[in-house]
Amino acid sequence: METLMNITLDTPTPLASETLINVTPTAAAKIRELMAQEGKAEHGLRMSVLAGGCSGFQYQMGLEETPTDNDQVFTSNGIKVFVDNKSALYLAGVQVDYKNSLMESGFSITNPNAQATCGCGQSFR
């Protein structure tokens, strides 16, 4: 799995969507661009939660060709998303966006389940 860089976390806000993970149109366009650059247009977005970081958990995103038997698989804005069952507990209702401004550039994750995020913005609990 290749990790996509520049992931930041936003303050959690409730989402109206019942989708496990919502990939915004902006994030979907950037993911498709990265897939094309890497010759992986048929791959999906792997999202997972790992133990670590300042607050206890951290997100991991990357491109993978196929899901595993323990994955939930769905599509959001044309992007196939693979999430293992354990990570799905922490990712329900998450929104993945992409920001490109003078102040920041990269993927942004809004998680309504996060109780707190660390100062560096790379982990949550």
Query: Tens of pLDDT along 52-64?
Result: 766 678 889 999 9
The predicted model gives 41-51 an average pLDDT of 93
User: Is 28 contained in some domain?
Assistant: yes
Plot region of 39 (φ>0 → left; ψ -120 to 50 → alpha; else → beta): left
**Rg of the chain over all Cα atoms, to the nearest angstrom:** 14
Task: Tell me the CA distances in angstroms from 74 to 59, 124, 125, one per residue in order.
Answer: 18, 24, 25
In this model, does residue 9 exceed pLDDT 70?
no
Bridge partners of 80, per DSSP, are: 75
Residue bearing the bigger pLDDT, 32 or 54: 32
125 CB burial (10 A radius; 0-12, 13-18, 19+): middle
pLDDT given for residue 14 in this prediction: 36
Number of domains, the chain: 1
pTM: 0.76
In this model, does residue 5 exceed pLDDT 60?
no
User: Is 10 contained in some domain?
Assistant: yes
Residue bearing the bigger pLDDT, 67 or 119: 67
In this model, does residue 122 exceed pLDDT 60?
no
User: Is 125 contained in some domain?
Assistant: no
Q: How many CB atoms lie within 10 A of CB 124?
A: 23
Bridge partners of 75, per DSSP, are: 80
User: Is 120 contained in some domain?
Assistant: no
Give the domain range for residue 12.
2-113
pLDDT given for residue 1 in this prediction: 53
What's 89's domain CATH number? 2.60.300.12
3-state helix, strand, coil in the chain (%, to 5): 15, 40, 40
> Residues 6 or more apart from 39 whose CB is under 8 A from it?
none
Q: pLDDT tens-digit profile of 55-94?
A: 678 889 999 999 999 999 999 999 999 999 999 988 989 9
